[in-house]
Amino acid sequence: AKENGRGGYSFFSPEMNRKLVERRALEADLRLALEKGGLYLVYQPQVDLESGAITGAEALLRWERPGIGNMPPDRFISVAEETGLIGQIGAWTLMQACHEAVSWPEGMSVAVNVSPVQFRQGGLYDAVVAALESSGLAPGCLEIEITEGVLLNDTDETLAILRRLRGLGIRIAMDDFGTGYSSLGYLQKFPFDKVKIDRSFISHLGEDRSAEAIVRAVVGMSHALGVRTIAEGVETQAQAELLRDKGCEAVQGFLFGRPMSAGNLAEQMAAPRA
């Protein structure tokens, strides 16, 4: 406890107090955004390295916070997780992404991020079914991206949920691959369709031999297990070429397009390729 200057004691320092007030305000604003609007999705193209065609896009959450402006997801998703709002936000994201993707050219898929806390809350399966039914999107056009955090505990139950989801015909990608402790073990244990090689490995490609070796190993191992690979955070032509040499199937990154509105993405996909 700290002396508060009026002879009494409070458990919070002014700094802690300020943070708490800020967090409460953020939570209240986020709740409002969910009810009244303010959240939206942008889409980053995913490109097939062989054909050069856009085959899908990752949905990334954005929030235009009144009076403050654009809030990056890293700032508000953690609060949504702590407060339990993430379940509703995740369900909204699935619904919105499926409704937007249904008007994309045939065969184009959309990838949606699922937070570990959202996963553990339950209700993901129902949210996926609701989004597919409401939008009419073909299950084969929906992919969910999960991180190692989802796989950490309760392996049997997690496995059962992932199998059920896959039974719907949607795909499951392992996001940020290589950043955790047990990526390899998880790849063997869980039914993934795709591995997303983390940006930290891609950014060192071309300057660092070990990054190259890691990418080659991840691609080789994924293929041995029948899993496709996509690299995230590809920013240079040299990185893209190295990835193609190593047999990586797909790429995503600023080189191929920044996250953009659904409308802009539809335009890009309709445009003839150079």
Site string for ligand C2E, 211-240 (x = CB under 6 A): ---------------------xxxx-----
Closest CB to ligand C2E among 60 and 214?
A: 60
Exactly one of 101, 239, 253, 262 binds ligand C2E (CB under 6 A); that residue is 253
Closest distance to Ca ion from the beta carbon of 176 (Å): 4
Closest distance to ligand C2E from the beta carbon of 6 (Å): 42
Distance (Å, rounded) from C-alpha 162 to C-alpha 166?
Answer: 6
Q: Are 97 and 110 in contact (CB under 8 A)?
A: yes
Q: Are 246 and 197 in contact (CB under 8 A)?
A: no
Of ligand C2E, Ca ion, none, which one does residue 50 interact with (CB within 5 to 8 Å by kind)? none
Q: Are 44 and 60 in contact (CB under 8 A)?
A: yes
Sites for ligand C2E among residues 255-274 (CB under 6 A) = 259
Residues that contact ligand C2E, how many (by CB under 6 A): 20
Q: Are 110 and 142 in contact (CB under 8 A)?
A: yes
Of ligand C2E, Ca ion, none, which one does residue 253 interact with (CB within 5 to 8 Å by kind)? ligand C2E
Of Ca ion, ligand C2E, none, which one does residue 115 interact with (CB within 5 to 8 Å by kind)? ligand C2E
Of Ca ion, ligand C2E, none, which one does residue 191 interact with (CB within 5 to 8 Å by kind)? none
Of Ca ion, ligand C2E, none, which one does residue 60 interact with (CB within 5 to 8 Å by kind)? ligand C2E
Of ligand C2E, Ca ion, none, which one does residue 72 interact with (CB within 5 to 8 Å by kind)? ligand C2E
Residues whose CB falls within 8 Å of the CB of residue 149, separated by 6 or more in sequence, listed in order: 115, 116
Distance (Å, rounded) from C-alpha 114 to C-alpha 120?
Answer: 10
Closest CB to ligand C2E among 144 and 227?
A: 144
Query: Nearest Cα to 101, choosing from 127, 135, 130?
Result: 135
Sites for ligand C2E among residues 53-112 (CB under 6 A) = 60-61, 72-74, 77, 93
Give the type of residue at 148: E
**207 contacts ligand C2E (rule: CB under 6 A):** no
Closest CB to Ca ion among 29 and 150?
A: 150
**175 contacts ligand C2E (rule: CB under 6 A):** yes
- Interface residue list for ligand C2E (CB under 6 A): 44, 60-61, 72-74, 77, 93, 113-115, 175-176, 232-235, 253-254, 259
